[in-house]
Amino acid sequence: MRCTNCGWENSGDRSNCEKCNSPLSNYAMREHAVTDVYARRTVNENIGINVGRPTVCEQGDSESCPQCGYPLLPGMSECPNCNCSRQAPAGVVSDSLNCPKCNHENREDAFFCSHCGYELQKKEPVKQSRSSYGRKTITPWEMQAPVCACRLSMIPNANEEAVTSPLVFSGEEIILNRDNTDEGNMTITSKEQAVLTYENKKWYLQDRSEQKTTFVYTTEKIELKPGDIIVLGNRRFEFDE
């Protein structure tokens, strides 16, 4: 429960403010309250309640902290809110900020009105610098997409020298053509001979040539679909169901 005198947030079971001892709204004194507010414990003769120590508002004129504007009781040498000395530091000029709710004059850097508790300005949350994240913290700018790569090793024909360096490709879709496989080989299409795709952690090959000249030699059973071309020797056959 927020105190209307100093703006301090109190627990719901308190009858007086923890900071300034001002009575909270749900526990305000009735019309029969004792008028002697300076008595520490005075019993009201009519309703039989105890009146606590006087609040800042009940004491009439009171001073405010020169640093944060918190109301000060007589005898306080420093502010209980910011621990600032009661006397303003030398050379410090106090700028005022009027409360938009009650027009009470507060310090410019005060967060709550010292008279009605209205919130004058909100504290900005402290931004955590990038270097302060822990080693195990996953940050979006450090996350990288998994790289999928494959290699094609050229098999030399008769009377050809073996090529030692394989062709390395990366990406989820790779277009194979003459320029990136065997430059100068006119049997390979210059635009799109075939495409390699990476799906569900598996590689797939699909023919893109106009003459349907992309084949795969295999020693294991493979699935056949209508339209597949089978090469037996130097003869091609089209599979259908």
Phi, psi of 59 (to 5 degrees): -90, 5
pLDDT range class, residue 54, cuts 50, 70, 90 = low
pLDDT: is 113 or 50 the higher one? Answer: 113
d(CA 132, CA 143): 17
For residues 159 and 161, give the distance between their C-alpha atoms in angstroms, rounded to a whole number: 7
Per-residue pLDDT, averaged over 23-37, amounts to 48
The per-residue pLDDT for 31 is 34
Mean pLDDT throughout 198-225? 87
Q: What is the pLDDT of residues 72-110, one digit of tens each?
A: 777 677 787 777 776 654 444 456 788 888 888 887 778
Nearest partner of 72 among 114, 11, 135, 127, judged by Cα:
114
pLDDT at 145: 58
Average pLDDT score, the chain: 74
**What does the pLDDT read at residue 82?**
77
| pLDDT value, residue 195 | 92
CA dist 14 → 47, 57, 165, 234 (Å): 20, 18, 81, 97
Question: pLDDT digit string (tens) for 137-195?
Answer: 555 555 565 578 898 888 888 888 887 788 899 999 999 999 999 888 899 999 999 99
Look up residue 1 and give its amino acid.
M
* Class of the CATH-defined domain 150-238: mainly beta
More confident: 196 or 25: 196
pLDDT at residue 136 above 60?
A: no
Q: What is the pLDDT of residue 126?
A: 62
pLDDT at 32 over 50: no
pLDDT at 212 (0 to 100): 86
Contacts of 92 (CB under 8 A, 6+ apart): 66
pLDDT at 215 over 80: yes
DSSP readout, the chain?
-B-TTT--B--TT-SB-TTT-PBPGGG---TT--S-TT-SSEE-TTT--EE-SPPTGGGSS-EE-TTT--EE-TT-SB-TTT--BSSPPTTPPPPEEE-TTT--EEETT-SB-TTT--B--PPPPPPPPGGGS-TT---GGG--PPP-EEEEPPPP-TT-PPP-SPEEEESSEEEE-HHHH-TT-TTS-SS-SEEEEEETTEEEEEE--TT-------SS-----TT-EEEETTEEEE---
Which of the two residues, 209 and 229, has the higher pLDDT score? 209
Q: What is the pLDDT of residue 194?
A: 93
Q: What is d(CA 95, CA 81) in angstroms, rounded to the nearest whole number?
A: 19
